[in-house]
Amino acid sequence: MVEKVITLENVSLLEFLGVDNDNIKEIASAFPESKIISRGNEIRIQGSSPEIIRINQILYSLIDRYNKFGKITRDEVKNLIQTDDEPMIEEGQDEVLIFGNRGIKIVPKTPNQKILVDAVNENDLVFAIGPAGTGKTYISVALAVKALKNKEVKKIIITRPAVEAGENLGFLPGDLKEKIDPYLRPIYDALGDMIPSEKLRYYQENSVIEIAPLAYMRGRTLNNAFVLLDEAQNTTPMQIKMFLTRMGPDSKVIVNGDRTQIDLPNNQSSGLIDATKVLKGVEGISFIELDESDVVRHKLVKSIVKAYNSKNKDSK
């Protein structure tokens, strides 16, 4: 027998579980061979692996729906039980990409971010290039999560080169995961805004969402996946070629990078800059440029980026 525990966070238990736990009882009656126990903000599921996975999917779909609408009805529970699919992400009038945790609307906030979204919808390979704070990673992760929820892809793969401010991984403390995780923190933060923590853990444990250093992509074919390469300015030309040639059928790829934050040794050229030259004009590939007008962090970040851009222009 397999056991799974789901912790409900930031929800009204009455609105989610229903009066007298009616919503949970509805699920339990549909899966008589499994045992579902609701105690406080924990739901404990015991049963066979296939049923546990299905019950898990239903409960997380209900959590997503609660985050969006603030309540769950018994009819919605019945509908989810009767279908194998999660509900589609609905396109709102304000171009909502997804509803994140606690119902937060994630939308493109600038004209160039909207151009990026449109480019990803129209092309299988998109390069998003721009300075820090322009939302490259955040919008890309939102598009990946949307594609996963809408069953357009079967998994999300997010990767980045383990090169950061000249540091060498071999000299950092800890095992490989402990060495790599700090470099992937921005990606974890973005995913944490968009997917409940328990569901995100489930996705990672079952390789539905995979986050790994770029070196782990070698030799693979990435099929039916939404693939994101972050910090691409720190790849070499051979690394980015290796990555791009992993692209399999029914996949979408976004490559993010910032020309002003290259941390490679001086004798190495950036794979991102090389790719923009080599692949320019190739049909099916789109290059989107973001600038300081797209910065969505603190208002001072926009001024900082603008000041450094002016300095670089004056020094040429």
Q: Are 31 and 55 in contact (CB under 8 A)?
A: yes
Q: Which residue has the tokens 């910090």?
A: 231
Residue 165, in any domain of the structure: yes
Radius of gyration of the chain (CA): 22
Q: Give yes or no: residues 148 and 290 share one domain.
A: yes
Rounded-to-integer distance, Cα 23 and Cα 27, Å: 7
**How would residue 176 be classed by pLDDT, with cut points 50, 70 and 90?**
low
Residue 249 covered by a domain:
yes
Does residue 77 sit in the same domain as residue 108? no
| Structural domain includes residue 89 | no
What are phi and psi for residue 129, nearest 5 degrees?
-125, 130
Tell me the pLDDT tens digit for each residue of 96-109: 888 777 667 788 88
12, 226, 191: which is closest to 106 by C-alpha?
Answer: 191
Domain count within the chain: 2
- Residue 210 sits in a domain whose CATH number is 3.40.50.300
**Helix axis angle, 136-149 to 185-194, nearest 10°:** 50
Per the DSSP assignment, residues forming a β-bridge with 106 are: 98
**Is pLDDT at 166 greater than 50 in this prediction?**
no
**What percent of the chain shows pLDDT beyond 70?**
84
Query: Of 82, 110, 130, which residue sits at a domain end?
Result: 82
Cα 189 to Cα 211: distance, rounded to the nearest angstrom = 12
For 262-290, the pLDDT digits (tens) are 888 877 899 999 999 999 989 999 999 99
pTM assigned to the model: 0.66
The residue segments making up the domain with residue 253 are: 98-315
Do 311 and 186 fall into the same domain? yes
Query: Is 90 part of a structural domain of the chain?
Result: no
Q: Does residue 124 lie in a domain region?
A: yes
238/314 Cα distance (integer angstroms): 32
Query: Which structure tokens are listed for 305?
Result: 């980026």
Does pLDDT of 236 surpass 50?
yes
Return the pLDDT at 277.
Answer: 94
Let me know whether 239 and 267 are in one domain. Answer: yes
pLDDT in tens, 190-224: 898 888 887 888 898 888 999 888 888 888 889 99
Does residue 115 lie within any of the structural domains?
yes
Q: Identify the domain boundary among 28, 48, 82.
A: 82
Per-residue pLDDT band at 298 (split at 50, 70, 90)? low
CATH number of domain containing 54:
3.30.1370.10
Confirm whether 91 is domain-assigned: no
Pairing of strands 35-39, 42-47: antiparallel
pLDDT at 92 over 70: no
Judgement on whether residues 120 and 229 belong to the same structural domain of the protein:
yes
Residues 133 and 242 in one domain: yes
Beta pairing class for 2-7 and 35-39: unpaired
Question: What is the rounded average pLDDT of the residues 165-172?
Answer: 47
Q: Indicate if the pLDDT at residue 84 is higher than 50.
A: no
Residues 155 and 293 in one domain: yes
Within this chain, do residues 156 and 300 fall inside the same structural domain, yes or no? yes
Same domain, residue pair 234 and 132: yes
Q: Return the structure tokens found at 271.
A: 């794979």
